[in-house]
């Protein structure tokens, strides 16, 4: 029997599942990101804040989260997809696409003009995935101060900026 999946706003009880999803999904990036980054999880405080503000969505399978999308507002009209992960045991079922489309729809309805994100330039399932969903690369010279700060934070955490790309998509 196929699992039925639902995308929904995260509930407080969903937060305890997020770290496990992050860590499992990060293993797919072994060899692309340093071990310190692969072992990072979003703080409980950040998750509680995102959930209470309505900036956190989950994919539910039998009412248990198996994926999530976390958004931050970098500017009043710029929704930034801070993180999106699907547990590898539920991968390749269109759940990431559903999460991204949910974020884009939410951003449009919230009055945002765009959705931005950062991803790996050379990981085969990253950049092409977002391009297929209508995202385009933002040239480094065109980055806003807020997006430059995101790239600087990633660099401080050990990600190689030459392997990263900043992308945007109109929230339409």
Query: Mind giving me the DSSP string for 17-49?
Result: GHHHHHHHHHGGGBTTB-HHHHT----HHHHHH
| Residues 114-133, mean pLDDT to the nearest whole number | 95
Percent of the chain with pLDDT over 70: 99
Tell me which architecture the domain covering 5-170 has in CATH: 3-Layer(aba) Sandwich (3.40)
Residue 1 has pLDDT above 70, yes or no: no
63 and 8 Cβ atoms separated by less than 8 Å = no
**Which phi and psi (to 5°) does residue 86 adopt?**
-125, 135
Give the pLDDT confidence of 33-61 residue by residue, as tens digits: 999 999 999 999 999 999 999 999 999 99
Residue 2 has pLDDT above 70, yes or no: no
**Which phi and psi (to 5°) does residue 159 adopt?**
-80, 135
Average confidence score pLDDT of the chain = 96
Model pTM score: 0.95
Domain locations along the chain:
5-170
pLDDT of amino acid 17? 98
């Amino acid at each position: 029997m196929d699992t039925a999946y639902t995308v929904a706003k995260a509930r407080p009880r969903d937060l305890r599942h997020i770290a496990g999803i992050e860590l499992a999904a990060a293993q797919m990036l072994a060899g692309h990101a340093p071990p310190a980054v692969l072992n990072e999880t979003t703080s409980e405080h950040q998750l509680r804040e995102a959930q209470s503000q309505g900036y956190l969505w989950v994919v539910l399978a039998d009412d248990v989260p198996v994926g999530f999308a976390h958004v931050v507002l970098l500017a009043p009209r710029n929704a930034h997809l801070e993180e999106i992960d699907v547990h590898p045991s539920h991968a390749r079922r269109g759940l990431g696409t559903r999460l991204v489309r949910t974020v884009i729809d939410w951003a449009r309805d919230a009055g945002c003009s765009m959705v931005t994100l950062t991803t790996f330039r050379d990981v085969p399932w990253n950049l092409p995935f977002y391009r297929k969903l209508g995202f385009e690369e933002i040239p480094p010279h065109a980055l806003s101060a807020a997006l430059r700060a995101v790239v600087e934070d990633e660099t401080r955490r050990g990600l190689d900026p030459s392997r990263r790309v900043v992308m945007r998509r109109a929230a339409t």
